[in-house]
Chains A and B, each alone.
Chain A
Amino acid sequence: MQAIETLEIRGMCRDFGTTAALQNFSLDIRGGTFVTLLGPSGCGKSTALNCLAGLLELTDGEIILNGKPIQDTPPEKRGFGMVFQNYALFPHLNVISNVSYGLDNKPMPRSERDLRVRWALDLVHLDMDEFGRRFPGQLSGGQQQRLAIARTIVLEPSLLLLDEPLSNLDAKLRGEMRIEIKRLHKELALTTVYVTHDQSEAMSLSDVVVVMRKGQIEQVGTPQDIYNCPRSLYVADFMGYANRIPVTLVGPEGNEWLVETETGHRLHGISTFDGSADWKPGERLLACSKPEDMQVEAPGTANRLSGSVHLVEFVGQAYESVVRLDDNDNLQLLVQSQNTLTQESPVSFGIRPGRLLLFPYEAPSGKRSGQRLSAVSTAVSA
């Protein structure tokens, strides 16, 4: 199969009826990279994958593979491979027949076909002698997943598409299969596009992460980029910046911005937001940070806030507490500490320098961070 040097996606659009599921999706993929499309359900990531595969026709736009447009090539002629969320194994064919299904579409001697089947099953660590004659219904979830991957990579596709392949597995197996996928990508140097709603999967697997929102690309970057420098509140939210403090801009100070909370505390923040050059003093902003960047044990007196402990949860590497800020009962933040805190006791915590990100103010939607907090409360009360 012709290897990918460049895969350019230009203004890819897909409508379903009157709703635009995918709008102006443009992305350059270099051969051998692992690209992840990340976003919540309904953000268009699966639509984008299906358009790439050829299973959905484009409403507009182009897909250019090594300089040749392929958007009108039917899926069976593109030479791409796809692993489906529910694996889509053929239930009436045994493991060997499932793997050789794609090979049967190409003329090749039987001996070579058998060799390739064995190679693919070896690659995913599925013992052909033990499982070869079994049917998909007789395999465990993890084995079905391995079979689904083997069936696809046996064809040595130029592009491997994975549609939330781990979402049907339990937590332990998901971790194992994640490593397997990473290993396969390294061994075969397969250009891969991976769809997921799980940010930790995206972080650990990808070379490039594409965060999507409502059918459009919100941000493209390396995992480190996306994680440390989210360029919008939406991406920050998705990356676990669960704490949001409404603030007013006082003005720039060195490389940072000085902001003031509703209770008059002054904090230093930075901005990764594109439009921050236009900000003027008095502007309403949201200061966001991750719980792990709000530490009780943080040294110094700058960038500190105080409140009272509401709930405490042990999260493994630390304790995470819901803290209600002094003089502002409505504002709850997740704060980490190395030692457990007493409920209802006063606490002061520092925000790590450079880890308080500023974004234009948006009214709380009560979605993600709210969910997180209520999840903590239920966990504690239960």
Chain B
Amino acid sequence: MSAETRAFPNAARVALKNERLQGALKHLKEGFQVKRAQAFAGIDDPESLREAARAIRANALSRLDELLVQFEARVNENGGHVHWARDAAEARAIVTRILEERGARAVTKGKSMVTEEIELNAHLTRHGIAPVETDLGEYIIQLRDERPSHIVAPAFHLQRDDVEQSFRANHHALDANRALDSRPALVAEARAIMRRHFEAADAGITGANFLVAETGTAIIVTNEGNGDLTRLLPKTHLVVTSIEKVIPTLGDASLLLRLLTRSATGQVITSYVTFMSGPKRQGDADGPEAFHVVLLDNGRSALLSSPAREILQCIRCGACLNHCPVYGVIGGHAYGAVYSGPLGAALDPGLDGIASTFDLPNASSFCGRCDSVCPVKIPLTKIMRHWRNEAFARGLPSGAFGIGLKLWARFARHPRWYRAAASMTARLLRLSAGKSGRIRSFPILRGWFAVRDLPKPARRSFQSQWGKRHR
């Protein structure tokens, strides 16, 4: 395996030692877990709601081709255009072409993980187009040239003074004596800067939380209103999203929205829920003249016919990240991929291939909490297990581990051999322990001894003691 594929263990170690990150991660509980729990306590029978949401998403995936065609027809009727992108390169090319045709140089962007996935900003910059992120978290990480560490809260890994530092380094008109030591002060500063970008933008790019087939509507949820300004002020609006976001009806959207906001931020509803169905109509006071929807596949239709299919049900609420004990101690960047946490562990191998993402589905204790909080009941651990099987079949676990596992399984199939081998191992471990009740190091399973001792095995196994008593 190449060094890059095993970047995760190292990145995780670095993250564990990053005290600023650790400080930020402490807020996962009150920031997300508690709020979600409170929001769910306020609805009757959340389990039925989850099941209904799962059924909507599963049904949509089973009719994906039909719904996408319907969505395209409605968008066309509404005066917009739909573009199909097989992969990231095609999506980037489509977006760049539209912007160039429209003569757009300044572009505002609403939050969109799909544009992160296709690395759109770097591409646009290379083509002389200046994209500005308008979601506050996205804007901050754009200033810092970082990736989002969380799909809902992109700058979750940062603390207030990190943000202050970034503003002072990048906002050259900012008075050095002005205090930026509170959240409202930071927001006011960002808002002032952002306002100028909104006014100057030639085009706006947003993502979509859902696409509604029956109306040709793209829906986004935001709390900052930046999505609306991104869509409404420039002459051109592009929605860049992926094919699996489509659902049949507005009624489906309404049910899914109830779960999305509660699962994501614990809100009954976000400050803004925006329904975007084409360009400005005759008589509309505001709105874009041109409306384009770019639909990205990038491996998704292949996933549709794989055992990982259910990951495409995901509505990107982030609840699995917020409740994941591994994400909770290392944050999102250590995953080294656009999508982190259990979502990433289940999705990234499908998008990027298992060879480069081997660690992600393996770096789970299979505690199952992600499964239990997912609003659309994606069996995340089941999908991670599928990727582990794929990896094992390709001989991806490092040589010694794979061979060890095989050898161990061979022994385990023969209880007598197994007991003989266990007894020998126990004897060696007892020798290492000496008079102490535990072992501090041993030549195999070094990972165990890296952070903990091993209790000393018994002098005689249960089965041998039992056999003696019951002969």
Partners in one complex: no
Residues of B within 8 A of A (CB): none
Residues of A within 8 A of B (CB): none
